[in-house]
Amino acid sequence: MAHFATLDETNIVTQVEVIDTDLITDDEGVEQEQLGIDFMTKLYGVGNYKQTSYNDNIRKNFAGIGFTYDSSKDAFIEPQIFASWGLDEDTCRWKAPVAYPDDDKLYYWDEDTTNWVEIE
């Protein structure tokens, strides 16, 4: 199966569709994104469609509703959940300013203290 994201005019994902891989495979057996875009256009009309991958092998992250497509990075980026977190430019994922503790305990992020707090 192939997945395609529909983007609004500000490059925010509004929908993610699953389509049969056969619909995006050319006569030589090679997947072609443009074939998927053409299929989406036939279904929904002219729009902005981008292929996404649940195993993150294209466009860094699997697109979800509310994600932003960054054309300069060719990546889908989830909404920033904490103001203190920065974007990892390699993975295009948000990263806490303090590493998650490596001690087999469970923690949650406390934005007020900008630190991990152990769940007791």
Q: How far is CA 50 from the centre of its chain?
A: 11
For residues 68 and 54, what is the distance between their CA atoms, to the nearest angstrom? 16
80-109 per-position pLDDT tens digit: 999 999 999 999 999 999 999 999 999 999
**pLDDT for residue 7:** 98
Radius of gyration over every alpha carbon of the chain, rounded to an integer in angstroms: 18
For residues 8 and 110, what is the distance between their CA atoms, to the nearest angstrom? 32
Q: What is the mean pLDDT of residues 8-31?
A: 96
Enter the pTM of the model.
0.89
Phi, psi of 44 (to 5 degrees): -115, -5
34-76 per-position pLDDT tens digit: 999 999 999 999 999 999 998 878 999 999 999 999 999 999 9
**pLDDT for residue 56:** 72
For residues 65 and 44, what is the distance between their CA atoms, to the nearest angstrom? 17
Does residue 13 have a pLDDT over 90?
yes
